[in-house]
Structure 1
Amino acid sequence: MQSSNEMILHNVRLPLMDENMFYKIIIQDGMYKRIEQQPGYATEVRALSIMDGKQVEVSEIDVEGRIILPSFVDIHTHMDKAFSLKDVPNESGTLQEAISNYSQKAHLFSKEEIKKRVYRSALQSLSFGTTHIRTHVNFELDVSQTLALEHLQAVLEVKSELSPYVSMQVVPMFSKMSGRTKREMEIIEEAIQLGVDGIGGAPHIFPDAEANIEKLFQLAIKYDKFIDLHVDENDNPAICTIEQLIEKTKQYGLQGRVTAGHLCSLAAMEQKKADQIMSSMAEQQINAITLPGANMYLQGRADRGVVRRGITRVKELVEYSVPVATASDNINDPFHPFGRGDMLQIGLLTAYAAHMASKTEILHVLKMITTIPGRMFGIDNHQVEPGAYANFVVFDTNDVYDMFGSSSPSRYIFTKGKWLTSTTESHSFGDRKLEDLWNGIKQSATIKL
């Protein structure tokens, strides 16, 4: 007997489990109760199609062979800066100008403006299937102590207000730690006690990087927070603060609680040194995050002839068993003028830039935007399996290559016990003959095959 709070999905494809099989999924109280392998495509299902627009009202749905993935986890964003490009341009396209221009304009941005940016980026990301977001937040202490706290509070307020729909982690970026006065350190500790989730920063851009890293680790230990740093976002192979991060992780026993984003200079290092670093990262259980959009845009600006891609050694890190996720980083701001908060788009960029296009590699890219960052976020089991929370996306395709190729324009998002949003797209032609041809192709195309 089916309970009133139970939902059944038929004819589901789960490529991260077995892409050749069909599954029946039973969800109860917002959690996966059972995942059953079907002997084949069930043709006698008495359930509404997910495409008929009434799926939010029914308890039994025929997915018709479409792909379901765990919902997306965007593990590295900057929501406070999103959609600021018009106010903060970047003519050179360099990281240095982006940092400088934003800092110079920071005093002009009100708390309400910051909140609007975070709302927009969070909801836009949710519409594409992202249910968990970790955002880094500028802490402009050198501009104004009041402004630094206000901007952070703005993000924390949106986190609280959107908590019934999106799970957010907030990580302030603390800078110049070794030279802070006693009063400035009090402000930083006050910020941490507002309810942030982790300790962030970009120590590699300062000359005393090692001292900065030490201070950040001390704060993380004192307040029991994870560490998520921007690390070696530079073309220069001599910039290698990842070594200090490895050393501090070992010294303080923080294995599994330290994340290194970017790691661009790792790609420029000679092979022997890079191998040693990647091996040590795996040994100390340091997470890695690649940010292909921003890194390809910002890095290699001084190169001539062969221009470096900018991203880190993704495939090699995976081979060394370092957990590697990919994330959106920046959206429509001086650090990255493009992007839209769509993790499928970020997965496609990763596949291109990291040369990950075999079937096995494509499936791993899907894990890099779902299950792998889910573990970094702290979700015990962000997978489609019994006992896990049912946070998933239904894609209007039955093939992972088509999913990337078409960016799967139609998606249906289920999270926190309900169908939350859907994104659909339709095509039409002004010419009647073309319209008839197109509609005929659509009708003859069978999702289940």
Structure 2
Amino acid sequence: MNELILKNVRLPLFEEDALYQLTIKDGRYEHIVKQTEAAPLQAVPFTQAEGQLALFQEIDVEGRLLFPSFVDIHTHLDKAFSLKAVPNPTGTLQEAISNYSEKAHLFSSEEIERRVMKAALHSLSYGTTHIRTHVNFELDVSRDVALEHLRAVLRAREALKDHLSIQVVPMFSRIHQRTTEELRIIEAAINLGVDGIGGAPHLDEDAEKAIEALTQLAIKHDKFIDLHVDENDDPSICTIQHLIEAAETYRLQGRVTAGHLCSLAGMDQLKAQRIMERMADVNIHAVTLPGANLFLQGRNDQGVVRRGITRVKELINEGVLIAAASDNVNDPFHPFGRGDMLQVGLLTAYTAHLAGEKDLTQVLKMITSIPAEMYGLKAHEIKGKAPAEFVLAEATDLHELFASLSPSRHVFSKGKWISSRSSELTFQDAELHQFFKESHAYDVSEV
């Protein structure tokens, strides 16, 4: 379809109570016009077009919300849906890591590729069009396992490239302790075409040396750095300080991302404040992973159990660019989740006490435009000439969006509608069904 016109659109990142008309031409936003009133119903009503959106050029979306597609900036597609094969009875991070590594040699490259495809397509169906996946590099298991699993993820990335983009970030460990042969294998892995350098230096016996080695690797290959940082309850664990120093020393502002930052939440207020200020100064990006952190952290607490997530609201207030992401789906690190970034946004809103209108706007940005900036997308927003990548949601305001998680969702990207999820509740009693339909009917005339 060369041109698509959408009327009676709500844009929550613009002005939620207003209605807009969007014209999309050749896959880009051509015109974005604020309507002075609800548009005359010359367009096909959405309720009539739903299920066959591609057939219509002009659609009245009846006041539904439209926002940029999701960007999941931190996930583990290679581990997704592995929970049955790798259980985690204690629910701890340590057991999840240990159990997965013990089973890694049993997973064929075909199984890894299948998991990546399944998880990526689930995410796409919910509205995610860009994914950064961290990949286990099991060099301590075997060279073959490490490289074969990475190649499997890269094959899936290639297979899906016409539909969604995937950045691949292998997680390297103990770089400063590796033999010459092991370093050669790591170099070969990077040369396969990965996008960034990853790792979890807080798990290393010498975190400072680990960060230095990972940083040098990134500089040598001109890659961004995206690390798991301080995923621990212990406030004395503070490898983020070493990462700040490395980013400043090597002038890597805007090219370093720190995921988790759990121990930051338990630190002394003055120490935490200084760290957050320094992160903002050096432009280190942060990512909160509420699902996995709520599940894994606080396991030894009694009585009042810590939430595990980082200082989301304070990082926002300090000017640190912070996103929210899914982390894990149905694996030993997080047995729940479904690759739905609205669900991640809801968990973020709950745990970070973000519930006002401005707060929820920020949450929506944390799963759309903010991670897009970290990802390197130049124009992932609704503006003239920008690529039209959006989600049309079953809601007319942000509170409804996060409360209902929009059971119906329609995703547009690369010049076409690419997925639709439709869910309509039906009461068996005809009178109840009619009451329900009438109570949920959209009325754009109220705008």
Task: Decide whether the 8 Å contact of 1:48 with 1:60 is kept in 2.
Answer: no
For 2:57, the equivalent position in structure 1 comes to 59
Q: Which amino acid aligns with 1:15?
A: P
Q: Counterpart of 2:423 in 1: which secondary structure? A: coil
Q: Deviations over 1:127-157 (max 9, x none)?
A: 0000000000000001010110000000000
Q: Which amino acid aligns with 2:310?
A: T
For 1:115, the equivalent position in structure 2 comes to 113
For 1:208, the equivalent position in structure 2 comes to 206
For 1:220, the equivalent position in structure 2 comes to 218
1:57 is displaced (CA, Å) by 1.6
Matching of residue 35 in structure 1 with residue 55 in structure 2: no
Task: Decide whether the 8 Å contact of 2:72 with 2:128 is kept in 1.
Answer: yes
1:48 is displaced (CA, Å) by 4.6
- Which of 306, 309, 319 is the equivalent residue of 1:308? 306
CA distance in 2, matches of 1:319, 1:390: 30
Task: Decide whether the 8 Å contact of 2:37 with 2:445 is kept in 1.
Answer: no
Q: Which amino acid aligns with 1:30?
A: G
Q: Counterpart of 1:169 in 2: which secondary structure? A: strand
Aligned length: 445
Matching of residue 5 in structure 1 with residue 32 in structure 2: no
CA distance in 1, matches of 2:333, 2:67: 30
For 2:278, the equivalent position in structure 1 comes to 280
Q: Deviations over 1:319-364 (max 9, x none)?
A: 0000000000000000000000000000000000000001110110
TM-score, normalised to structure 2's length? Answer: 0.98
Q: Which amino acid aligns with 1:118?
A: V
- Which of 7, 19, 23 is the equivalent residue of 1:22? 19
- Which of 72, 88, 91 is the equivalent residue of 2:89? 91
For 1:161, the equivalent position in structure 2 comes to 159
Structure 2 unaligned blocks of 5 or more = none
CA distance in 2, matches of 1:218, 1:11: 52
- TM-aligned CA distance change 1:388 to 1:448, over 3 Å: farther
1:309 is displaced (CA, Å) by 0.3
1:34 is displaced (CA, Å) by 1.5
**Identity across aligned pairs (percent)?**
60
1:376 is displaced (CA, Å) by 0.5
Task: Decide whether the 8 Å contact of 2:261 with 2:310 is kept in 1.
Answer: yes
Root-mean-square deviation (CA, aligned residues, Å) is: 1.2
- Which of 355, 359, 362 is the equivalent residue of 2:360? 362
Moved more, 180-189 or 425-434: 425-434
Task: Decide whether the 8 Å contact of 1:67 with 1:395 is kept in 2.
Answer: yes
TM-score, normalised to structure 1's length? Answer: 0.97
For 1:387, the equivalent position in structure 2 comes to 385
CA distance in 2, matches of 1:189, 1:141: 12
Q: Which amino acid aligns with 1:65?
A: G
Q: Counterpart of 2:14 in 1: which secondary structure? A: helix
Q: Which amino acid aligns with 2:120?
A: A
For 1:346, the equivalent position in structure 2 comes to 344
1:51 is displaced (CA, Å) by 4.8
Task: Decide whether the 8 Å contact of 2:63 with 2:442 is kept in 1.
Answer: no
1:280 is displaced (CA, Å) by 0.3
Structure 1 unaligned blocks of 5 or more = none
1:58 is displaced (CA, Å) by 1.9
Moved more, 244-253 or 44-53: 44-53
- TM-aligned CA distance change 1:59 to 1:319, over 3 Å: same
